[in-house]
Structure 1
Amino acid sequence: MKSSVEMVTGPQEHLSAVCAYTEETPDFKGYLETVIRDLKAEDELVIVTDVLGGSVNNEASQFKNLANVHVIAGMNLALVLSLVISTEPDTSRLIEESIHAAKEQMMYMNREHSGEEEDF
């Protein structure tokens, strides 16, 4: 995901990817605790996970009540690109707008008829 985003946007200093539960990051919760502990008072952390209710999402969600931590489930490229390229300064609004934009990109192409999509 990070490589795909950076292929479009160029290098992103504040974007990182974590391979949870691998040799690279066997203790994902410990990793998150370290990242959160190292945040400055003015920093905000947006964690984007793949599957709602999955193990990565469950671990990340343990930190969602912290004022400067935001957790999003349902990662896709449109979502992450929107988060990265937006100039919206309010993080909560940025997240809501990015989720909306990502949902707009999802379409069952077999059901598309002459440019009009059917409601489901």
Structure 2
Amino acid sequence: MNKFLIITHSTLAEGFYNSTKFLSGLTDNVKFINAYVDESDWTKEAKQFLSKENYKNSVVVMTDIFGGSVNQKMTLLLKKFNFILITGVNLPLVLSLVLETEPLTKEKCSKIVTEARKQLQVVKAVKPEKDEQDDVFLN
């Protein structure tokens, strides 16, 4: 079974967790850490998760900002623990990973990241015709 750890600055990780639970109901294998919300050392919790899950499952850690302090600290842990680290997380990425039933590899994660990037778009206003429904995405 794939295991996931979402770590972000402030409470964004919890937001991803809650949205994933709301949209998919699948969060038994997902844990989150809200980093820097208090004075506690969040890396202890991350290390505990990684040491418990290491080698038993495919473990994917997601962070918010490439080069940010959360990502930097998790990059250092790649030397000690066996996990896949993905940064620049967005909700389509989280959902795609959590819904994946096959064991995740770096190659599979790269493909999922590529697909999640496609969700980042500037949306143009659509002028509906008189007879179109309100939801222009249904057509």
- TM-score with structure 1 setting the length: 0.79
If asked which structure has higher relative contact order (CA below 8 Å, sep 6+), I would say 2
TM-score (norm 2): 0.70
Q: Secondary structure at the match of 1:17?
A: strand
Which structure is higher in strand share? 2
Gaps of 5+ in 2: 1-15, 127-139
Q: Offset at 1:111?
A: 9.2
Q: How much has 1:30 moved relative to structure 2?
A: 1.8
1:40–1:64 Cα change, 3 Å: closer
| 1:70-113, Cα deviation, whole Å (9 max, x unpaired) | 1111010000000011223242233112101101111112499x
Residue 82 of structure 2: aligned partner: 68
Change beyond 3 A, Cα 1:52–1:84: same
For the pair 1:49 / 2:63, whether they are aligned, the reply is yes
Question: Shift of residue 58 of structure 1?
Answer: 0.7
- What whole-Å deviation, never above 9, does each CA across 1:15-43 have from its counterpart, x for those lacking one? 011101223x7212222222222225322
Output the aligned Cα RMSD. Answer: 2.2
Q: Please tell me whether Structure 1 or Structure 2 has the larger radius of gyration of its CA atoms.
A: 2
Work out the percentage of aligned pairs sharing the same amino acid.
27
Distance 1:67 1:18, change over 3 A: closer
Partner residue of 1:6 out of 21, 26, 30: 21
Q: Which residue of 1 aligns with 2:32?
A: 17
- CA distance 1:56–1:67, change in 2 (3 Å): closer
Give the Cα separation in 2 of the matches to 1:70 and 1:78.
18
CA 1:88 to 1:54, structure 2 compared with 1: closer, same or farther past 3 Å?
same
Q: Evaluate the alpha carbon distance shift between residue 67 and residue 37 of structure 1 in structure 2; reply closer, same or farther with a 3 A threshold.
A: closer
